[in-house]
Copies of this chain bind each other. A is one copy, B any other.
Amino acid sequence: MEIIVAENCGLCYGVKRALRIAKETRKMKKGKVFTSGDLIHNPRVVSELKNLGIEPVEKLGEIQGGTIIIRSHGVSPEKYRLLTQKKIEIVDATCPIVKKIQKLVERLAKEKEEIILVGNKKHPEIKGLIGYSQKKGIIVENEEQARVLPHKKKRAVLAQSTQDLSLFKKIVAILIEKTKELRIYNTICLSTQTRQRSTSELAAKVDTLFIVGGKNSSNTNKLYYISKSILTNTHFVESAEEIKPEMLKNAKKIGISGGASTPPEAIEEVVFKIKNSLKNQIQRENLIQCQS
């Protein structure tokens, strides 16, 4: 039996940075400290932050005073304005990569270009980005939505930083037929690209794979779908507790990977649980053999 943890998985630079900023802010500020929504898409980490006194707030308009940490996904300019008007102190932990994409969208909008944003319209990063587009942005979530777009002389296309690269390529392939001059900005962050490649390589060489992370995490969900398309025996678990013995039946080579919001402890616990389950299983098998 072999357990292989994906070479590139777990917390990315932007998330680590946001977590560090949040904890430092909590130490420095006396009043209430909020985060714009869950700081990262991982219930376990969010609950730890709550214990420290860092509260996630969905509706920013409801905050009265205190300090708000803008999470790594960033927010729209309107939200910044709203917070400033309410005189709430802002600590900006937007991932520097997302910040760059926001500036790119802002620049393209000034050039009066149509901007296709390949991403999930419900994802906070996309909600933030579209706010910078001055109504020039169109969110495209899948190939079907790309196919119905009209022909254009010029347009630009970019992606949510955690987008699945193969979907981005498929959408670009459709846009090529509909656009004379298409500017492509590959804004998928390197860490996402490496993590996706690492997970798909792992899925190709193991017989069972566990994706560890929050079910509400967009990038972890993408890792799950990438792995599932290669290996049917892929399981998505939020924590070690969700691992059931039947998931490990006949497993000889087990892979583990996690998203940008999966803390290292969550992965370590999964490794521990699997090792333990398999040990018990082997002991039981030995027992049966002895009885016979």
Contacts and interface: CB of A to CB of B under 8 A. Distances in A.
A169 B170 CA distance: 9
Contacts of A180: 185-186
Number of copies: 2
Contacts of A182: 183-186
Given A169-B176, A172-B176, A176-B172, A183 B183 contact: yes
A87 to B, nearest CB: 38
Interface string A170-182: 0011001101111
B177 A193 contact: yes
A162 to B, nearest CB: 16
Contact residues of A: prevailing secondary structure: mixed
Interface residues of A, number: 16
A214 to B, nearest CB: 27
A183 to B, nearest CB: 5
Contacts of A185: 180-182
Interface string A143-178: 000000000000000000000010011001100110
A173 B184 contact: no
A189 to B, nearest CB: 11
A224 to B, nearest CB: 22
A169 B173 contact: yes
Contact of A184 (B168, B169, B176, B193): B176
A258 B173 CA distance: 26
Nearest to A165: B177
A115 to B, nearest CB: 14
Interface in A213-268: none
Given A172-B172, A173-B169, A173-B172, A181 B179 contact: no
Given A168-B176, A169-B176, A184-B184, 7 more contacts: A165-B177, A172-B176, A176-B184, A177-B193, A179-B186, A182-B184, A182-B185
11 contacts: A165-B176, A169-B173, A169-B176, A172-B172, A172-B176, A179-B186, A180-B186, A181-B184, A181-B185, A182-B184, A182-B186
